[in-house]
A = this chain, B = another copy of it.
Amino acid sequence: MPADPDRAGPWGRAWRLLVGPPLSFRRISKEQITPVEGLSALSLDALTSVAYGPEAIVLVLAAAGAGALHLIVPITVAIVLLLAILVFSYRQVIDAYPGGGGAYAVSRANLGTGASLLAAASLTVDYTLTVAVSIAAGVSALASAFPSLASATVPICLGILALVTLMNLRGLGDTARAFLLPTMLFIVGMLAIIAVGLIHPLGLHARQPGHVLLPTRDLKAVTVLLVLKAFSAGCSALTGVEAIANGVPLFKEPRVKRAKLTEVLLGVILSVMLLGLAVLDHHWHIGPRSGDTVLSQIMAMSVGRTWAYYVVSINITVVLALAANTSFGGLPVLASLLARDHYLPHLFSLRGERQVYSNGIWVLALMAGVLLVAVNGDTNTLIPMFAIGVFTGFTLSQAGLVMHWRSERPRGWRHRAALNGLGAVATASATVIFLLTKFLAGAWVVVVTVPLFIYLFMRINRYYGHTSRALGIGTIPAPPVSRRLTVLVPVVTLSSLTSRAIGEALSMSDEVLAVHVAVEYSEEAEPHLDELQRMWRKWHPGVRLRILRTEYASVVNPIVELIDELCQKGDRQLVVLIPVAIPEKLRYSLLHNHMDLVLSNALRNRPDVVVARAGMRIEADPPS
């Protein structure tokens, strides 16, 4: 996009209206957030996972029949215990990396390249999945409240994705204050619904849409495998716990203290929600239902399908969209770090005009969009792929921290290393459980994708290393050599554009050669060629017009052969100056400049020839 709006076309101006004018880095507000704002800016991904975590557990248990549903309470207790370990582990990450300690940075510093690339690949996969899962779950919540929307799931998903993408391209991605109201409404609403449900439910006899998906009889015994499957499915509720530790620099001073407080706040609220929902689900024997999420059923049982239900449902969609936004804050920054370390194309480290990493934003939007279309907007198809990457990141972070404490050895480092070690073991075990129990259901996708990403990173890194050596970057190059210059101007027909191009060629050098390719299609004479030669003589520009005859249709090959011939004479620099007409409207380009198209393409790989273009504008036809 050009910065000058007068030069941009109507499309450029419309786009500028959407994303806003370019921003100076001085005008980006450096936000300083409080713990409560931290919940909305950094913890929405974790908090909103109550919208799909409990449902994922119920869906696994329901396969064994209604009798297995009571297991939701002990399984949730186990998940909450794991959450507690994670919260305390990440409080220590905050202590150790107050500058923001993502899994990539921590494992790069402590565990080496291999582990850091594993972390980067896992996080890439999981950021993408977080966007897709959050948006899909948000649309499920909406469709539960308004069943008529169910048929438009995928378009609504893509619409929300487009909105979130645009918001991030504008650079509004991390305005914590704007997110505060929906976040508070979400937390208060959920806690109120759980309280009403536990004390005095209002809507016990509300009619639920859809039909029960539970088998009528218990189909199989409750096995250890089933319990592990349900546990691993429920762990999807823990994704996003690491975000606060990544975002420490955003907090007001004293940063570390405030960030650690936020981490505890998150742990407490999420635990209460998960346990409350599990107890209510067990109490009311709620199983999966078509077109009605488990959370929606619990809400309807608690407060009825009243205005409160609808307000909270719509708000859930909003906060889930904002949770998707968290990944847009994460992946582009990760990609820029990888690009700076030469593991991704450097263009991921370039900021857009709004000072955001726009290439990373576009790629994340594209990957999430493809995923949403591929799974038809269904949350539960995504769940088995989800959390593996996050838990791999958890494990690497915690293991890295153990190494960090061992090398730094501050006061009480043994105690700290033990806590992070417990976190590493717990999350590693969870990762293994995920892989074993969810492999065939979808985890294999992650198992295939992560190594592919690592391979890609390494290939790119190797290529950049090679290029840097080939170009001698970091060393003083040889002095520049100036040589005699010959300028070649291909001529199709004689016009004021030809005059302009020959003039520009003469500005570069005295040795200018105009070239015309005469293609013979038949044995007959060529009136066009004779006419051109006659007019050239009459014009008399002081430049020779050399005619290249060919029996073949290609006008390029004779010119390339002439270039080869001139290059072999050695010690001279060759410039090919192609005259091009620049039409007012881009679509008219189809009508011009075929010579430019084929000749540039043929010379694309010729470092020995400088290809230049002499342009002349064709003004629009005045309306007749």
Which residues in chain A, 462-512, are within 8 Å of chain B measured between CB atoms?
462-464, 466-467, 470-473, 476-485, 493-500, 502-509
CA A442 – CA B25 in complex, angstroms? 59
Other-chain contact of A480, B467, B484, B499, B520 (Cβ < 8 Å): B499
Given A508-B508, A552-B22, A573-B507, also A472-B460 (CB < 8 A): no
CA A616 – CA B508 in complex, angstroms? 21
Is the CB of A185 closer than 8 A to any CB of chain B? no
CA A522 – CA B477 in complex, angstroms? 30
CA A588 – CA B462 in complex, angstroms? 12
> A1-17 interface mask toward B, CB cutoff 8 Å, 1 = contact, 0 = none?
01110010000000000
Determine the chain B residues whose CB is within 8 A of the CB of A23 once the complex forms.
552-553
Which residues in chain A, 418-439, are within 8 Å of chain B measured between CB atoms?
none
Chain A interface residue count, Cβ-Cβ cutoff 8 angstroms: 99
Is B577 in contact with A610, judged by CB distance below 8 angstroms?
A: yes
Closest beta carbon of chain B to A159's beta carbon, Å:
28
CA A100 – CA B495 in complex, angstroms? 34
Stretch from A66-74, A230-238, A257-265, A599-607 that touches the partner: A599-607
Determine the chain B residues whose CB is within 8 A of the CB of A546 once the complex forms.
none
Determine the chain B residues whose CB is within 8 A of the CB of A347 once the complex forms.
590, 594
Question: Which of A7, A346, A484, A615 has the most chain B CB atoms closer than 10 A to its own CB?
Answer: A615
Which residues in chain A, 339-394, are within 8 Å of chain B measured between CB atoms?
345-347, 350-355
Is B508 in contact with A485, judged by CB distance below 8 angstroms?
A: yes
Given A479-B499, A507-B573, also A606-B615 (CB < 8 A): yes
Is A480 in contact with B502, judged by CB distance below 8 angstroms?
A: yes
Is A508 in contact with B509, judged by CB distance below 8 angstroms?
A: yes
Closest beta carbon of chain B to A575's beta carbon, Å:
7
Determine the chain B residues whose CB is within 8 A of the CB of A506 once the complex forms.
480, 482
Is the CB of A77 closer than 8 A to any CB of chain B? no
Closest beta carbon of chain B to A356's beta carbon, Å:
9
Question: How many monomers of this protein are in the complex?
Answer: 2
Question: Which of A467, A471, A539 has the most chain B CB atoms closer than 10 A to its own CB?
Answer: A471
CA A577 – CA B473 in complex, angstroms? 20
Is B539 in contact with A605, judged by CB distance below 8 angstroms?
A: no
Is A471 in contact with B485, judged by CB distance below 8 angstroms?
A: no
Is A503 in contact with B477, judged by CB distance below 8 angstroms?
A: no
Determine the chain B residues whose CB is within 8 A of the CB of A577 once the complex forms.
610
CA A347 – CA B597 in complex, angstroms? 11
Other-chain contact of A473, B493, B503, B613 (Cβ < 8 Å): B493
Is the CB of A612 closer than 8 A to any CB of chain B? yes
Given A473-B494, A478-B499, also A612-B615 (CB < 8 A): no
Other-chain contact of A612, B352, B470, B610 (Cβ < 8 Å): B610
Is the CB of A518 closer than 8 A to any CB of chain B? no
Closest beta carbon of chain B to A354's beta carbon, Å:
8
Q: Which residue of B lies closest to A9 (CB)?
A: B605
CA A351 – CA B594 in complex, angstroms? 12
Is B556 in contact with A2, judged by CB distance below 8 angstroms?
A: yes
Given A478-B499, A556-B2, also A573-B471 (CB < 8 A): no
Determine the chain B residues whose CB is within 8 A of the CB of A507 once the complex forms.
482-485, 509, 573
CA A202 – CA B214 in complex, angstroms? 64
Is A543 in contact with B480, judged by CB distance below 8 angstroms?
A: yes
Question: Nearest 4 CB-CB pairs, A to B?
Answer: A612-B612, A482-B506, A480-B503, A471-B495
Task: Give me 12 other A-B pairs in contact (C-beta within 8 A), A24-B552, A507-B573, A611-B613 excluded.
Answer: A7-B605, A346-B594, A462-B621, A464-B591, A471-B616, A471-B618, A478-B496, A479-B539, A508-B509, A582-B605, A610-B612, A611-B612
